[in-house]
Chain A
Amino acid sequence: MNYVIIGNSAAAVGCVEGIRQVDQKGKITIISDEPYHTYSRPLISYLLCGKTTEELMRYRPDDFYQTNKVETILGQKVTKIDPDAKQVLLESGKTVSYDKLLCATGSSPFVPPMKGLETVEQKFTFMTLDAATALQKAITPASNVLIIGAGLIGLKCAEGIFDSVRSVTVVDLAPHILSSILDEAGAQMMQRHLEKQGLKFYLNDSVESFDHNTALLKSGEKLTFDQLVLAVGVRPNVSLIKDAGGKVGRGIVIDATMQTSLPDVYAAGDCTESHDISSDQDRILALLPNAYLQGECAGKNMAGASCVFDKAIPMNAIGLLGLHIITAGSYEGEEKCVQDKESYKKMFIKDGKLKGYILIGNIDRAGIYTNLIREQTPLSEIDFDMVFEHPSLMAFGRGYRDKVLAGK
């Protein structure tokens, strides 16, 4: 069997490990345009603030490709998939044949058209190791940095450079920060925390126009900056599959076995659309755990096993300047909330099941909540008041504990 994987990140690594659980012999080739050993993308902000190094941020050990007998073609872009000839075309003109193909192309930063953006000299995005090292080279202790986008990537970038520059200002169209994962009250708590440390926000606002080192905001505010970071959003890289005639919605459409509409072509990770079981909707879940799990499932299936991954939910763990957030699921249904100065907890309950939660500050044993969402456990089977107070296994029945703790 001849496996080809486009991409060299979480979904690709998951696929390799999935294939090798089933097939020790088949040939695996990884092709990626980034010329590096597989690295952890989320760690680029930790690299900037010195919490990791380029060696430590490798997502798998140095001998990963060797141990798993993977050939790599790195620093090469795939320009085309030919599903009839079962080949991919590289930008060098070379072709690579496959029996089974995985598209794990991830996503790219989305930069909306903005007036005068071309006049800004020092502008950056924040999604790759190259982008992070370019930003690192540009900033100085005297830098005033402007970040467009108060989402996960924008704020992680802010944290990464915070101690190395004079000021960081964040502008976002949304009325509150981290709008994809936090409700208003949670976002306000987080924003206060970040402002206390010196981060500046302009929310409900956007850039009207740029003129070299100044940004004129819709609100009339004028901001001067040295470096600009664009972290408005990401778009799944779907074009290879789309151009080959495969089905694409907002992301690449796959079934529960991770197969695309093209024969012998699978897709996994940020480039796909997932079925979120907490909201029963198809959406893009640009999350590393999801990418790995999809990739692993795809790999097993490519190697002839039969595996489904049908438990995708949104979930995030993110710390910003010392305050931690864990969230999962979707925010619909009846709300149950407690808040004090240092922590915030909100649960969303619908049809007798936990659908989502937000924790800020105290995040201990949060996975017990995540599991209730993922397994769609009827709350009538547990002592939910107890578990709401403190996540515990005590709130579950004896039978569950016997299974989990006593192996019965």
Chain B
Amino acid sequence: MKRVYVNEKWCLGCHLCEYNCAFAQTGEPDMARALKDKTIHPNIRVEDGDDVHFAVNCRHCDEALCVKSCITGALSKTADGVVTIDQDKCVHCFTCVLTCPYGCILPTEDGAVTKCELCLKTTKGKPACVAGCPNNAIVFEER
């Protein structure tokens, strides 16, 4: 399946992917207005070192431990392999936070759980993080 893959050495650490992700989630037309004065909850997060930067988001694992461990059945895989979350079923027990080996499922401040769904429910086509990356540090492809 197509996933978001990282070209670590090209990542500038600009964090634009985080903003594009958060913006895509709002469904609003204007980024500045949608995100102004808001704490963003992006599903892709850049880790910054001294001179290393890279973005991390859900790997949509073939053997997804989060899905297998989910106590409610809120997490599941689509036929295409995308790990999605049914927010109505989720009770925020954080068992997925406990089990995701890469720390890609994130609790938000209001106690909910959020994760990358490859923009399945927002933009169609390329995930917003990849579409807005200025340096091809993340790409959406089959590997």
Nearest-neighbour CB distance to chain A for B93, whole angstroms, equals 5
> Known interface pairs A326-B98, A365-B97, A370-B101. Does A40 touch B71 (Cβ–Cβ under 8 Å)?
yes
Contact yes or no, B102 A393, CB < 8 A:
yes
> Known interface pairs A43-B72, A319-B93. Does A407 touch B143 (Cβ–Cβ under 8 Å)?
yes
Instruction: Give the residues in chain A near B68, CB-CB below 8 Å.
Output: 14, 289, 292-293, 296
Complex CA gap A117/B94 in Å reads 37
Nearest-neighbour CB distance to chain B for A5, whole angstroms, equals 17
Q: Which of B69, B72, B94, B99 contacts A40 (CB 8 A)?
A: B72
Complex CA gap A40/B89 in Å reads 11
Instruction: Give the residues in chain B near A374, CB-CB below 8 Å.
Output: 101
For B143, give the chain A residue with the smallest CB separation.
A407
Instruction: Give the residues in chain A near B49, CB-CB below 8 Å.
Output: 394
Complex CA gap A209/B66 in Å reads 45
Q: Which of A40, A363, A402 contacts B107 (CB 8 A)?
A: A363
Contact yes or no, B102 A319, CB < 8 A:
no
Please choose the segment from B5-13, B26-34, B116-124 that sits at the chain A interface, where 4 or more of its residues have CB less than 8 A away.
B5-13
Instruction: Give the residues in chain B near A407, CB-CB below 8 Å.
Output: 3, 5, 143
Instruction: Give the residues in chain B near A370, CB-CB below 8 Å.
Output: 98-99, 101
> Known interface pairs A14-B68, A368-B101, A393-B56. Does A318 touch B93 (Cβ–Cβ under 8 Å)?
yes
Complex CA gap A186/B106 in Å reads 23
> Known interface pairs A57-B72, A407-B143. Does A326 touch B47 (Cβ–Cβ under 8 Å)?
no
> Known interface pairs A393-B56, A406-B8. Does A43 touch B47 (Cβ–Cβ under 8 Å)?
no
Contact yes or no, B47 A398, CB < 8 A:
no
B 40-86 contacts with A by CB, 8 A: 47, 49, 52, 54-56, 59, 65, 68-69, 71-73
Judged by a CB distance under 8 angstroms, whether B134 is at the interface is no
Which A residues fall within an 8 A CB radius of B? Answer: 10, 14, 40, 42-43, 46, 51-52, 56-61, 288-289, 292-293, 296, 315-319, 322, 324, 326, 328, 363-368, 370-371, 374, 391-394, 398, 401-402, 404-407
A-B contacts, 10 of them at CB < 8 A, read A10-B71, A293-B69, A315-B99, A319-B94, A322-B111, A326-B94, A366-B97, A394-B52, A405-B5, A406-B7
Which B residues fall within an 8 A CB radius of A? Answer: 3, 5-8, 47, 49, 52, 54-56, 59, 65, 68-69, 71-73, 88-89, 91-103, 105-107, 111, 143
Additional A-B contact list (18), CB under 8 Å, known A296-B68, A367-B65: A40-B73, A43-B71, A43-B91, A52-B89, A289-B71, A292-B68, A319-B93, A319-B94, A326-B98, A328-B98, A363-B97, A364-B97, A364-B106, A365-B106, A366-B98, A370-B98, A392-B47, A406-B5
